Amino acid sequence: MRVGIIGGGSIARLFLEHIRRGDLGDVKVVAVAGQSAASRGKALAQEFGCVFVTDLGGLVAERPDVVIEAASHQAVREHAVSLLEKGIAVIVLSGGALCDDGLRSALEQAAIKSGALLYVPSGGIAGLDALKAACIAGVDAVTITVMKPPAAWKNIPFVGEQKVDLDRLTAAHVFYDGPARQGVPLFPQNVNIAAVLSMAGIGFDKTRLKVVADPAIKHNTHEIEIRGKTGNITIRLQNVPSPDNPKTAWLACYSALAALKLVKSPIRYGT
């Protein structure tokens, strides 16, 4: 399988390390795409002996079967539709971008028309298989509480506006409590999981998102509550943050790897 990666950060590095070790079998990274020649992806590509590109044309020229987007909402907006239209499967990690109904619809239409796979993996959460099954019967309420240590909330404009001193926080602070529709765009690097939960479940308007900075926790902790006709589901994840990027959980990085394994597999156990 020929794979392209958009982004040169924590997830991209983990990918490249595992692929170099042969953990994913017959997979070759044909290109790493960054925004400019100054992007981190350039050094990463050099380190792993891959081609570095800065535009869609360069990426497509390397003939990937699958492109992993591990970059940003902007990267999804810029590249995902064109890739799908060209018949290239896309694994989207920055799923929060799909909170924009117009963009999501364009991606879905491109995938349907070309037959290329659009795959938004579970990322840092679990339970989407049960949620999807429960939704067929009927689900009344879904809530996700995203709690991370203060360091994970730095450099987010919406957090900055609230004038909370993250270095001196002594108790849990709720930044947001409301519909995922309004909350997801406020934290573009932190709550992509709320987007995938919304899309797999009852949608952005009905899914409730709570966003919390908590100095008492070490893990990126996510609590999911689902209530519906098939019963109630409670899930609590305590994810180890990536050492390079406290906003990103290790589990999310591995979710991307697991997604790639599934792309060409004729066998599925769970989702």
Ligand X SMILES: NC(=O)c1ccc[n+]([C@@H]2O[C@H](COP(=O)([O-])OP(=O)(O)OC[C@H]3O[C@@H](n4cnc5c(N)ncnc54)[C@H](O)[C@@H]3O)[C@@H](O)[C@H]2O)c1
Q: What residues make contact with ligand X under the rule CB under 6 A?
A: 6-12, 33-35, 39-41, 70-72, 74-75, 78, 93-95, 123-124, 189, 192-193, 196, 245, 248, 252
What are the φ/ψ torsions at residue 224 (nearest 5 degrees)? -120, 130
* Tokens linked to 157: 């404009």
The smaller minimum CB distance to ligand X, of residues 15 and 139, is found at 15
According to DSSP, the β-strands at 139-148 and 207-213 are parallel
The smaller minimum CB distance to ligand X, of residues 116 and 199, is found at 199
The smaller minimum CB distance to ligand X, of residues 71 and 228, is found at 71
CA distances from 82 to 41, 75, 101, 209 (A): 21, 12, 17, 31
Active site residue 18: no
CA distances from 95 to 17, 53, 113, 179, 215 (A): 23, 23, 21, 16, 27
> Read out DSSP for 215-261?
TT-SSEEEEEEEEETTEEEEEEEEEPBPSS-TTSBHHHHHHHHHHHH
From the CB of 266, what's the least distance to ligand X, in Å?
25
From the CB of 28, what's the least distance to ligand X, in Å?
20
From the CB of 168, what's the least distance to ligand X, in Å?
25
From the CB of 107, what's the least distance to ligand X, in Å?
15
From the CB of 211, what's the least distance to ligand X, in Å?
14
* Tokens linked to 179: 């519909």
* Tokens linked to 240: 């180890």
From the CB of 213, what's the least distance to ligand X, in Å?
17
**Quick check: helix, strand or coil at residue 32?**
strand
Give the integer Cα–Cα distance in Å for 54 and 58: 7
The smaller minimum CB distance to ligand X, of residues 32 and 228, is found at 32
The smaller minimum CB distance to ligand X, of residues 80 and 228, is found at 80
Strands (E), 126-206: 139-148, 173-179
The smaller minimum CB distance to ligand X, of residues 74 and 234, is found at 74
Catalytic residue among 18, 73, 173, 222: 222
Residue 137: how many other CB atoms lie within 10 Å = 10
* Tokens linked to 100: 């924009």
Residues annotated catalytic, as ranges: 222
